[in-house]
Chain A
Amino acid sequence: MPEAEATTGAIAETGRTSRLATLLQVARARPRFALGYVIVLAAVLAGALAPLVAPYSPVEANPAEFLQPPSAQHWLGTDAVGMDIFSRVIYAPRIDLAIAVAGTLLSAVVGCLIGAWVGYHSRGGGLRGWLAYLVMRAADVMQAFPVFVFAIALVASLGQSVQTVVLAIAFVNIPIYLRLMRSQVMTIREMRYVEASLVAGLSDARTIARHVMPNAMGPALAQLSVNVGWSILLTAGLSFVGAGVRSPTPEWGSMIASGFQNVVTGEWWPSVFPGLALAVTVFGFSLIGSSVELFADPVKMRRLTRDLAARRRERAA
Chain B
Amino acid sequence: MTPLLEVRQLTKRFPIAGSRSVVQAVNGISFTLAPGETLGLVGESGSGKTTVGRCILGLTDISDGSIAFNGADLSLTRRQKPASLRGQVQIVFQEPADALDPRMRIGAAVEEPLLALGTPRDERRARAAEAVGFVGLDHRVLRLYPAELSAGQQQRVGIARAMITRPKLLVLDEPTSALDPTARADIIELLVRLQKQFGTAYLFISHDLSTVRFISHRVAVMYLGMIVEQGDAAAVFAQPRHPYSVGLLSSVLLPNPHLRRASSISLSGEIPSPINLPSGCYLASRCPFAADACRARVPPAEELGGGHLVHCIRHEDVAQTERTADTFDRFQEEAERILSVGAPAPA
Contact = CB atoms under 8 A, between A and B. Distances in A.
Contacts of A4: 150, 152-153
Interface residues of A, number: 24
Nearest to A8: B141
Contacts of B148: 8, 11-12
Contacts of B149: 8, 11
Nearest to A126: B77
B172 interface: no
Contacts of A202: 112, 115-116
B87 A1 contact: no
B89 to A, nearest CB: 7
B200 interface: no
Interface in A172-213: 191-193, 195-202, 204, 206, 210-211
A273 B89 CA distance: 68
B153 A193 contact: no
B57 A11 contact: no
A1 B57 contact: no
Interface residues of B, number: 44
B153 A198 contact: no
Contacts of B104: 193, 210-211
Interface in B82-115: 83, 85-87, 89-91, 93, 95, 98-104, 109, 112-113, 115
A5 B137 contact: yes
B120 interface: no
Contacts of A206: 115
Nearest to B95: A192
B143 interface: yes
Contact of B57 (A8, A9, A193, A199): A199
B259 interface: no
Nearest to B108: A210
Given A201-B86, A211-B101, A195 B91 contact: yes
From B57, B101, B152, B153, name the one whose CB has the most chain A CB atoms within 10 angstroms: B101
Contact of A11 (B113, B117, B144): B144
16 contacts: A5-B136, A8-B137, A8-B141, A8-B144, A11-B148, A193-B104, A193-B109, A196-B93, A197-B112, A199-B90, A200-B112, A200-B165, A201-B116, A201-B117, A210-B112, A215-B102
Interface of B: 57-59, 78-79, 83, 85-87, 89-91, 93, 95, 98-104, 109, 112-113, 115-117, 136-138, 140-141, 143-144, 148-150, 152-153, 158, 161, 165, 186, 344
Interface of A: 1, 4-5, 8-9, 11-12, 191-193, 195-202, 204, 206, 210-211, 214-215
